[in-house]
Amino acid sequence: MTVRVRFAPSPTGFLHVGGARTALFNWLYARGEGGVFLLRVEDTDRARSRPEHTQAILDGLDWLGLDLDEGPVFQAGGIDRHREDAYRLLEQGAAYRCFCTADELARRREEAKQAGSGYGYDGRCGRLDAATSGARAEAGEPFALRVRVPGEAIGWEDMIHGPMSFPAGSIDDFIVLRSDGTPVYNLAVVSDDAHARISHVVRGDDHISNTPKQILLYRALGAPLPAFGHVPLILGSDGKRLSKRHGAMSVLAYRDEGYLPEGMLNFLALLGWSPGDDRERFDVGGLVEAFSIDRVLRKSAVFDLDKLGWLNGRHIAASPPAVLAHPVIGILRAEAREAGLRLAETHPELEASADRLAAIIDLVKERPRTLPALARQVSPFFAASVRYEPDAVRRFWKRPAETAEHLRQLAARLAEEASFRDVETLEAEVRGVAARLGVGAGRVINPLRVALMGQAVSPGIFEVLGAMGRERVRARLEAAVRFLEVEAEAEAEAVTA
């Protein structure tokens, strides 16, 4: 049997973490089994469905690399088939006409509440004989269609949870077609899944209560029953259902924040699935090879934004510099545009130095967790000037006059260095200056890092020197000395005053 799975979102919002994970698990299962992955857009809620939400779902799947084998198909396109299936249930005696109005049902529900008992539909319309029911319908009396629920337990072997069962009497006769002729969710889903020959239904735990009703509908329609697997929900760190307050966003928002699709896929896969060993970083091929539905965990996963950042950083570090260069240039160009400038003005030679850019990305890519953070690390190597981070200045330029003198002497010594790109020689020169000044190497290295990068953190400073080059290092040190001299004068004036 060919494995056929589907992802069936409603276009009433964007593609969020929970839906993306469901799509991923279905896609991985299909790819691992040589099966088919189908997208069905459940757009029967016409009032809330939006074309832009459908497009956002498609864009999110495309960004993640979850390619479709079939679809998208739209649930609203099957409404005639849904009605036909509902009336087939009526003809077979598996469903009956219910003439109870909404007001009558609400009144009975309120009476039950006042009596302190739970309300369940009592099946009264199901006891009408066929002639009476038919005559009332012929007379134009509105009716819904309800399915007769047998007085027996309804169970199934869940692919994730194992044996599951709803006891007899726990489900009332339920509506499948409203009095206005619109199908109810459970009927539409079963009709669509049967029509698409879906073999395995993998979805969230919030659908468990729908499953026994759907099993009854499959049986009544004489359609093959798919295997069901229900994935536990994703929770926030406080144990509550995941929401925006936990840092969760739409999938495309993570793209816009600078996460890689590989990092996002890796993170989503580990939200409720375990490979059975200590591996955490997976590429897409590794996920397809390692994924199995029986290793999806039965307990809820906890959304951890720090874990996402760490995994994304590992994927950035593993990515070829040529792959990272394009987004880095795009980010720096957008920043220049926001300042009303061209990239050539803010970062001269960046676009014309592909080999040098690749080498610098390779130097700095171990630490950043997002693409904008990577761009911030690359920027100082090409920027016409750097902005000194206030925290870095407070930490490492506390004594402006002294620091200016240290950098001045360092600049003079480095200006004489012939083999400027030899890292070992550069290290010896920097440490030599510190020794001659009678200070620890950190008293020279940390101020130097701020002067060159504008930041308190960078790759190895000696590698930075070599990658930045003699002329840019000279210019950065001169600019830093000028800045520190102004700070020293202001400090002296403050003391005198």
CATH number assigned to the domain comprising residue 413: 1.10.10.350
Report pLDDT digits (tens) over 46-74: 778 889 999 999 999 999 999 999 999 99
Are both 220 and 122 inside the same structural domain?
Answer: yes
User: Can you tell me the distance from the alpha carbon of 263 to that of 265, in angstroms, rounded to the nearest whole number?
Assistant: 6
Pick the closest to residue 98 from 170, 169, 177, 207 (CA basis). 177
Pick the closest to residue 242 from 263, 272, 279, 209 (CA basis). 272
Report DSSP letters for 26-74, one per residue: HHHHHHHHT-EEEEEE----TTT--HHHHHHHHHHHHHHT---SEEEEE
- Say which of 113, 213, 240, 244 is annotated catalytic: 244
The pLDDT of residue 246? 78
The pLDDT of residue 443? 94
Boundary (domain end) residue, out of 295, 313, 331: 313
Are both 254 and 283 inside the same structural domain?
Answer: yes
The pLDDT of residue 111? 85
Are both 86 and 38 inside the same structural domain?
Answer: no
8 Å CB contact between 144 and 98: yes
Boundary (domain end) residue, out of 170, 198, 231: 231
Residue 35's domain is classified under what CATH number? Answer: 3.40.50.620
The pLDDT of residue 481? 96
**Residue type for position 425:** T
Are both 154 and 59 inside the same structural domain?
Answer: no
For this structure, is 244 an active site residue? Answer: yes
The pLDDT of residue 352? 85
Are both 415 and 287 inside the same structural domain?
Answer: no
Instruction: Tell me the residue range of the domain where 439 lies.
Output: 390-496
**Number of domains into which the chain is organized:** 4
Q: Tell me how far apart the 2 most distant CA atoms of the chain are, in Å.
A: 109
The pLDDT of residue 275? 93
Are both 411 and 397 inside the same structural domain?
Answer: yes
Are both 465 and 397 inside the same structural domain?
Answer: yes
Report DSSP letters for 170-224, one per residue: SS--EEEE-TTSPBPHHHHHHHHHHHTT--EEEEEGGGGGGHHHHHHHHHHHTPP
Are both 366 and 251 inside the same structural domain?
Answer: no
Boundary (domain end) residue, out of 175, 210, 231: 231
Are both 395 and 441 inside the same structural domain?
Answer: yes
Are both 226 and 241 inside the same structural domain?
Answer: no
Are both 185 and 106 inside the same structural domain?
Answer: yes
Low-confidence ranges of the chain (pLDDT < 70): 418, 497
Are both 489 and 394 inside the same structural domain?
Answer: yes
The pLDDT of residue 497? 65
8 Å CB contact between 263 and 370: no
How many degrees, rounded to 5, is the angle at CA 392 between CA 386 and CA 398?
115
pTM here? 0.90
* Burial zone of 145 (CB within 10 Å; 0-12 exposed, 13-18 middle, 19+ buried): buried
Token pair recorded at residue 140: 């134009």
